[in-house]
Amino acid sequence: MSVFAVVLALIGAERVDRTVAALLGAAVIVSLGVVEQERAASEFIDWNTIGLLAGMMVIVAILDRTGIFEYLAIKSAQWGRARPGRILVILALVTAFLSAFLDNVTTVILMVPVTFLIADALGMSPVPFLLTQVFASNIGGASTLIGDPPNILIGSAAGLSFMDFVVNMAPVVVLSLVPALAFLYFVFRGEFRSDKRARETIEQMDARGAIRDPVLLRRSLIVLSLVIAAFFLHGLLHLEAATIALFGAAGLMLYARANVEEVLREVEWPTLLFFVGLFVLVGGLEVTGFVGRVAELLTGVSDGASVATALVVMWGSGFASAVIDNIPFTATMIPVIQELARAEGLSREQLEPLWWSLAIGADFGGNATLIGASANVVVAGMSERAGQRISFLRFMAYGVPVTLISLAVATPYVALRYYLL
């Protein structure tokens, strides 16, 4: 626990690069024997997440060469009539929608390049747009089985289908997204500048002319469409998301005859290594029993079928996911809830509200800090490479209020839908 706390402090104080801090912390706990190296590699590092990220980064790197992101940037700016506030909302809604059908990490990888181009055309910092999109992505991704990694874990453990998630999670996502976007629009309004010259420039831009390589674009979109379809059908195909993404990445490099070395230079290696270190650190918390004790406290309510238990799970998961990362925390909470069900003799109908509470808390809580969700780290890494650094504390300044707003909206939703009506 002390090593993890030191790493968090170093990241928060921005004294050490977050990738270096995470890898150093992971090396320390392995060296001390808290976690064996073999166990860290085989059990604690989520290679499905790493592979998914790497594969989609390769696909996006090739897509970027076609000019499709410039095309989308111009179209988005023109739809928003070059008004920054309107564009911020449009991009957030598009991101939330895409995150429901792609995973949220893939969505932000696709949207970040668009955002930089739009901000540059408007003569504004891209940070307000980036933060709004990543928050919208984490909220929107909660609405489906495949939208957010914690949902995939919960769906598999609880036997919940794609439609189960849509029916139960989509309403609370819509209810939460509206006030969250209103808050972000309000706090960023001082950075919006309406420039007549920029508006005229954007209106005169040729979106079609931005497409540099139509043949490569067609090939890339074919492969991307197949990858997305495979994500929808991953249960029938019996393939993990990482396998699908890496298959698509390798297939696209072959189909597009891409220069492998040039493409791999575009992969966010610091981000991937940060995840490796973070997973090992959280594995250390699991081995020492810290995460388990926290998880048990969240369900320490006498009546497992009560609304109090559901709200404790939701709010507790929200706070814990902000610190621990929602993927490994969700993986730890799943057996705790299953044990609670056995101990209390809960039926499937009585247990389901706890699964939805866990999903809401983990997905929404991931917005609170930079390390709370995978998409946050990806956006921060891509932004830093472009010269627009998003600090840990700055992310929290906006992420914590968005998380509190989302969970506050979800509280009456869970209470009324599953217990009081």
User: If you write DSSP's letter for every residue of 270-286 in order, what string do you get?
Assistant: HHHHHHHHHHHHHHHHH
DSSP for 188-241, please give it.
HGGG----HHHHHHHHT--TGGG-S-HHHHHHHHHHHHHHHHHHHTHHHHT--H
pTM: 0.77
- Integer Cα distance of 363 and 403 in angstroms: 10
Per-residue pLDDT of the chain (421 residues; tens, 9 = 90+): 678 778 777 766 667 777 888 899 899 989 988 888 888 888 888 787 788 788 888 888 888 788 877 787 778 777 877 788 888 998 899 889 888 877 788 788 878 888 887 888 788 888 999 999 999 999 999 998 878 888 888 887 787 877 888 899 999 999 999 999 999 999 998 888 766 776 776 777 777 777 888 888 889 889 988 988 887 777 778 887 788 889 999 999 998 888 888 888 878 788 788 888 888 887 887 788 776 676 666 556 556 667 888 898 899 899 988 887 787 778 778 878 887 777 777 788 888 999 999 999 999 999 999 888 878 988 988 888 888 888 888 999 999 999 999 999 999 999 999 988 7
Residue pair 410/177 in contact (Cβ under 8 Å)? The answer is no
Q: How far is CA 290 from CA 71, 268, 284, 287, in A?
A: 49, 31, 9, 8
Helix 326-344 vs helix 348-365: crossing angle, to nearest 10: 160
- Integer Cα distance of 49 and 217 in angstroms: 26
Distance in angstroms between the alpha carbons of the first and the last residue of the chain: 42
- Integer Cα distance of 331 and 285 in angstroms: 13
DSSP for 37-69, please give it.
HHHIIIIIS-HHHHHHHHHHHHHHHHHHTTTHH
- Integer Cα distance of 244 and 237 in angstroms: 10
Q: How far is CA 80 from CA 302, 331, 333, in A?
A: 52, 40, 42
- Integer Cα distance of 198 and 82 in angstroms: 7
